[in-house]
Amino acid sequence: MDAIADRAFVGLKGNAKDKYHILDETPSLLTVILDINPLEWKKLMDSNNLRFKDVTSALLVMLNSHMALNSGNKVSLYIANSFYHGAKLVFPSFDDDDNDDSQSPNSKEKVDDNSSLEEEKVNEIVKKKRSRQRKVNASRILETTGIYRQFRIIDETIVDSLDKIIKNEPSNLKSLVGKGETHIKGTLSGALSQALSYINRFQNSDEHSGMKARIVCISVSGDNTLPYVSIMNSIFAAQKQKVSVDVCKLGPNSTFLQQASDSTNGVYIYIKHPLGLIQYLSTALFIDPMLRPMVVLPTNTNIDFRASCFITNKVVDIGYVCSVCLCILSVIPEDEICPTCHSKLDHDLIVMLKRKPRVLPLVKKAKRKRNSSTPDINPVKKFREN
Amino acid sequence: MQSPLTQPSSSDLFKSSINEYLDNLPETVHAQLYKSPETCLAVFRLLPALAKFYIMTLLFQETAIPFLDLNRWIRHKKASGTTHRRNPSKIYQNESIKRLKALNLLKEIRKKLKHPKTGKTAVIVFVQLNPIFRQSFRDALTGFRAGRQLDPNEKITETIEESEAKESGKKGLKSSKDNKSTESTQKNLNALFSDDNAKITVEFLDSYCLSKWENILHFMVGSEIAEYPSIGVLTLLRYSGLMELPSDRQRRENSSSGADADEDFVVDDHYIDGKLTPPSGEELKSLLITKSGFQFLLQTINSQIWTLLLQYLKMSEKLMMNPVDVLNFIFMLGSLELGEGYPIGMLSDTQLIMLEDLIDYGLLYYPRDAASGGKGKIFYPTRLATSLTSEQTNFKTASAALNDQIANPATEADQTRVEGSVIIETNFKIYCYTSSPLQIAILNLFVHLKTRFANMVTGIVTRESIRRALINGITADQIINYLETHAHPGMVKKAEEKYAKKLEFENSIGNTYAADQLKFEILPPTVVDQIKLWQLELDRIEATNGYLYKDFANDFEFEKLMDYGEEIGVILWKDKSHRRFFVTTEGNTQLIDYAKRILRKKGE
């Protein structure tokens, strides 16, 4: 049968055409994660003269363009690293802040997102009212005179909620400082996993089954804010889901995000000229999942694969690895218990590891890192004291 | 000829016809069209994915970029083995660029540049987006308009809001701002709708447009209908050659010119020119379906509408309507929002004429009685209109979603669940969950139906049933396409899983060539192949227009040209020993261009 099929039916365009026909028609979901850590943004603004507003407008144009590609396309936006919310879904918004009269309880809405989506579709009147209400706020900021309605709804929602969040940030920071919390944990990985769950739910829903999805991360914070384990877990989840993670990196370079894009067939771009951001967003970071197999990805090829220490959160070149849970350590904890899996480390082995080098070393048993950079624990010194 | 040129599949045929129509418009019309951001958006959506990507890369580029940079985006895979030299990515890229040029979106600029080191001058081709398109499309995306032109959408919303405001004034509900004003708006809106004594909800519009459209289709298959479509619709059906009067048929049969056998669209425009009196409404009711009418029935709803709209465009040209106005209106429909009302005040005269016709097709809803009551004249686009510029699946899914909402599934749901209900097994048995007489009638065209249940019919695909369809002028591709687009979601899901699994396997063993060749098979391949074989039984010879290349001076030129031709996939037949090959008409210009380039290079 195959032989027949080959000769008779594979015509001029036969196979390729089918494939590209699907390629042209399949809608996709674009999820953007925007890092809005205000302190980092302040740094960027001072050094690069880059305003948050510019980035937001570039982002909005990108979302609009994605919607323009195909009318079945969808977008969603998460923010990360804010002081109060942590990671939060901004668009599509389910209006849990507004006390809507005609709405079902918030909890139900959050659980059953599909029905609320449909509800929104059907309940045009409510939507209209909302957009009117929104318009009051957003029109002050947005200079959109005439725009396709679908775009406007997206833009207004996003601008409005971003505005609200940013305005609350100073007071949030104050309350955080007041509580005495000094180390503010980054929530990019939280946003990433939320986004992945959103995509998963989206792809499994009847309405959008088989929809392709990708994530774009606009990140400004450095690696030290990223919790290593959860980001790695998100990467693996993304890999499994076949969702590419593209990274648009402003500010300091990030090792983990490089790894994230590399292992998910994404694009990692370090932005050197942030003023031309829109060009980056509309070319290199705008490759549809369906186009990926045939387009050369403009990504960095030499990637830093180093991991970070589970205790100090710093990137390590050479370190210790727990034999039970494979957690990475730059120093051995004093109590000799693995901080992740709480298994007891072998004392004799640790003593052996910490042994000072002899003048004539016979056999070097294991790797060791001598000048660990943490100020509080210094294994070599401690050993000597013993 | 070794490999026959397969006809493009039928739904593509209709879909590509709008593209073709756009391609063939003169540049001045293009320029006028691109002034409207909505049209730009719609044209953009019709492009292949790669062309869209190219446009996006060029959109915010102020200067022209070298043409070669476009090539650089494409991954050039070295094809394995010498037998498969065709590079599918390259063919696709070529197609994308060809479309961009045909639409006058991409402009080539040739610049003479001096090489900085050698000092040689070389001509480098730069490309740039059409400036008018670029401006409008940027406007569409950013919402910024420098010239403060009149924007229909904005005006619409403003007017609606104004009317709302007026309304609230009338009711004496002094808008007490903030919370209360929003509540009052909702009340007002409700009042507005109830005033129109018709609940214009999305459900209403959906059932309205579907019943309108199905009425037309029912008329075409000749089933009993209560209300005949309007004369405008009937005229268009006849004009587009989907149906014909008995007298037409006789005339055609009498004029025994056999060459007209495959002239599908019999264009009879005498009555438009006014030479003959147009057939009366009564006469038109006796229309009979033609060969192309059968083919038309097998399309998805979206392409059916496009087919009719395209014929409408052609007809409107004869009626001296401004094509730019007509096209702008059609494209604007795609960007309107379902369930919203739009005042007719913003339409031009031409568009007002169109409005009437579009109402007949079920694309728009226009509450007449309410309008006469002095209320603002407002029309409502239906889902048929708003999904015009979107992909075909949209309607299907939307109606599926609709089914869940409609409380009374017995009648309405059956109407809307026409799509996505056919299961075909490898043993050629067909099960179709439907009770719509229309779908049963369509299936009956090529299936031997056996039993009918309350919500399902079963049948079997046989050689006889397919032959009958083929003789009726339906092609195997059309049948396969129909089955594919109407396949049960379960079949689609299964096919997707199978495809993903195969792809993963091929990729895991690193067989990229096989991965490329994988097909996405919704229908069982045995059935597809068999249907195609049955068609091949009927037509064993296929004619293709093209050019024969022969008498090459040397092997080098022959090899070079043939390699290139194979790469872009335009060579139909070749004979290496006699240095001859045959090229399709479309590919010929490209090949000649290439040949010239080689010659020039040699000359230098």
- Please tell me whether residues B225 and B315 are part of one structural domain: yes
The answer to whether B360 and B232 have CB atoms below 8 angstroms apart is yes
> CA–CA separation, A99 vs B40, rounded Å?
39
Task: Give pLDDT, residue A118.
Answer: 47
- Please tell me whether residues B134 and B167 are part of one structural domain: no
CB burial class (10 A; 0-12, 13-18, 19+) of residue B187? middle
Measured in whole angstroms, how far is the alpha carbon of residue B410 from the centre of its chain? 32
Contact B390 A24 (CB under 8 A): no
Among B341, B359, B386, the domain-final residue is B386
Q: Which of A115-129, A273-287, B170-184, B297-311 has the lowest mean pLDDT?
A: B170-184
Contact A4 B201 (CB under 8 A): no
Complex-level ipTM: 0.73
Structure tokens at A104: 């079902």
Contact A122 B202 (CB under 8 A): yes
| CB proximity under 8 Å: B 125-154 to A | 139-145, 148-149, 151, 153-154
Give the number of C-alpha atoms closer than 13 A to the C-alpha of residue A92, restricted to the C-beta side: 19
- Please tell me whether residues B283 and B376 are part of one structural domain: yes
Among B347, B362, B386, the domain-final residue is B386
Residue A57 identity (one-letter amino acid): S
B-chain residue closest to A284, CA distance:
B57
Task: Give pLDDT, residue B19.
Answer: 78
Structure tokens at B223: 């089933």
The answer to whether B109 and B126 have CB atoms below 8 angstroms apart is yes
Inter-chain contacts counted by CB atoms under 8 A, chains A and B:
213
Task: Give pLDDT, residue A370.
Answer: 53
Contact A122 B572 (CB under 8 A): no
DSSP B130-192: -HHHHHHHHHHHH---TT----HHHHHHHHHHHHHHHHHHHTT-----HHHHHHHHHHHHHHH
Query: What mean pLDDT is predicted for residues B221-227?
Result: 71
3-state secondary structure of B413: helix
- Please tell me whether residues B105 and B163 are part of one structural domain: no
- Please tell me whether residues B234 and B376 are part of one structural domain: yes
Position of tokens 């940013």? A166
In a domain? residue B286? yes
- Please tell me whether residues B187 and B212 are part of one structural domain: no
Q: Which helix (H) or strand (E) holds B107?
A: strand B106-114
Task: Give pLDDT, residue B431.
Answer: 92
Contact B339 A14 (CB under 8 A): no
Q: Where are the alpha helices (DSSP H) in B486-524?
A: 489-508, 512-517
Task: Give pLDDT, residue A385.
Answer: 44
> Please, what's the b/e burial string for B497-535 (b: 16 or more CB within 10 A of its CB; e: otherwise)?
eebeebeeebeeeeeeeebbebbbbbbbeebbbbbbbbb
| CB proximity under 8 Å: B 516-575 to A | 516-517, 519-520, 525-526, 529, 532-533, 536, 569-570, 572
> CA–CA separation, B304 vs B395, rounded Å?
13
Contacts 24+ apart (CB under 8 A), B368-374: B369/B197, B370/B195, B370/B196, B370/B197, B370/B198
**What torsion, rounded to 10 degrees, do the Cα atoms B585, B590, B595, B601 define?**
170
* DSSP bridge pairs for A74: A29
> CA–CA separation, B597 vs B529, rounded Å?
42
B118 in contact with A, Cβ within 8 Å = no
- Please tell me whether residues B125 and B188 are part of one structural domain: no
Query: What mean pLDDT is predicted for residues B566-580?
Result: 86
Give the mutation candidate from B9, B53, B200, B542 for the A interface (greatest A CB count, under 10 A): B53
- Please tell me whether residues B165 and B123 are part of one structural domain: no
Contact B49 A144 (CB under 8 A): no
Q: Which parts of chain A have pLDDT scores under 50?
A: 1-17, 96-129, 132-136, 140, 143-146, 372-386
Contacts of A24 in chain B (CB under 8 A): 48-49
Task: Give pLDDT, residue A197.
Answer: 92
Kindly report the average pLDDT of chain B as a whole number: 72
pLDDT in tens, B96-118: 888 888 888 888 888 777 777 77
pLDDT in tens, A67-89: 888 777 888 999 887 776 678 88
A-chain residue closest to B58, CA distance:
A283
Among B386, B419, B450, the domain-final residue is B386
Between these two residues, B53 and B415, which has the higher pLDDT value?
B53
Longest dimension (CA), chain A: 84
Q: Which of A251-265, B153-167, B341-355 has the lowest mean pLDDT?
A: B153-167
B177 in contact with A, Cβ within 8 Å = no
B413 in contact with A, Cβ within 8 Å = no
The answer to whether B568 and B91 have CB atoms below 8 angstroms apart is yes
Q: What is the extent of the structural domain holding B582?
A: 546-603
| CATH code of the domain occupying A15-294 | 3.40.50.410
Q: Point out the residue among B190, B516, B529 whose CB comes nearest to the CB of A5.
A: B529
In a domain? residue B402? no
| CB proximity under 8 Å: B 77-116 to A | 86, 88-89, 91-92
Query: What mean pLDDT is predicted for residues B334-349?
Result: 73
Structurally, chain B folds into a number of domains equal to 4
Query: What mean pLDDT is predicted for residues B174-192?
Result: 41
Contact B89 A209 (CB under 8 A): no
B248 in contact with A, Cβ within 8 Å = no
- Please tell me whether residues B188 and B227 are part of one structural domain: no
Sorted by where each begins, the domain ranges of chain A are: 15-294, 307-386
- Please tell me whether residues B236 and B343 are part of one structural domain: yes
> Please, what's the b/e burial string for A121-147 (b: 16 or more CB within 10 A of its CB; e: otherwise)?
bbbbbbbbbbbbbbbeebeebbebebb
Task: Give pLDDT, residue B5.
Answer: 31
Q: Point out the residue among B48, B148, B401 whose CB comes nearest to the CB of A24.
A: B48
* DSSP bridge pairs for B423: B431
Contact B401 A288 (CB under 8 A): no
Beta strands in B339-478 (DSSP E): 342-343, 364-365, 378-381, 422-424, 429-432, 448-452, 457-460
Contact B584 A290 (CB under 8 A): no
Q: Tell me the C-alpha to C-alpha distance, in Å, between residue A289 and each of A26, A317, B397.
A: 10, 34, 21
**Integer distance in angstroms from the first to the last C-alpha of chain A?**
79
pLDDT in tens, B387-442: 776 554 444 333 333 333 333 333 333 334 445 688 999 999 999 988 777 788 88
In a domain? residue B458? no
Mind spelling out the 3-state secondary structure of A230-292?
A: HHHHHHHHHHHHCCEEEEEECCCCCHHHHHHHHHCCCCEEECCCHHHHHHHHHCCCCCCCCCH
Task: Give pLDDT, residue A215.
Answer: 93
CB burial class (10 A; 0-12, 13-18, 19+) of residue B480? buried
> CA–CA separation, A78 vs B506, rounded Å?
35
- Please tell me whether residues B64 and B165 are part of one structural domain: no
Task: Give pLDDT, residue B348.
Answer: 78
Question: What's this model's pTM, rounded to 2 decimal places?
Answer: 0.68
Task: Give pLDDT, residue B255.
Answer: 60
Task: Give pLDDT, residue B460.
Answer: 93
What's B582's domain CATH number? 3.30.70.2610
Task: Give pLDDT, residue A1.
Answer: 40
